[in-house]
A and B are shown apart, each in its own frame.
Chain A
Amino acid sequence: DAGVIQSPRHEVTEMGQEVTLRCKPISGHNSLFWYRQTMMRGLELLIYFNNNVPIDDSGMPEDRFSAKMPNASFSTLKIQPSEPRDSAVYFCASSLLTTGSGELFFGEGSRLTVL
Chain B
Amino acid sequence: SQQGEEDPQALSIQEGENATMNCSYKTSINNLQWYRQNSGRGLVHLILIRSNEREKHSGRLRVTLDTSKKSSSLLITASRAADTASYFCATERGGGSEKLVFGKGTKLTVNP
Contact = CB atoms under 8 A, between A and B. Distances in A.
B88 A100 contact: no
Contacts, number: 57
B61 interface: no
Q: How would you classify the secondary structure of chain A's contact residues: helix, strand, loop or mixed? A: strand
A100 B43 contact: no
Q: How would you classify the secondary structure of chain B's contact residues: helix, strand, loop or mixed? A: strand
B43 A104 contact: yes
Given A100-B92, A101-B30, A45 B43 contact: no
Interface string A79-115: 0000000000001010001011111111111000000
Contact of A103 (B30, B45, B99, B104): B45
A42 interface: yes
Q: How large is the interface on A (under 10, 10 to 19, 20 to 34, 35 or more residues)?
A: 20 to 34
Interface of A: 4, 31, 33, 35, 42-43, 45, 48, 50, 55-56, 91, 93, 97, 99-109
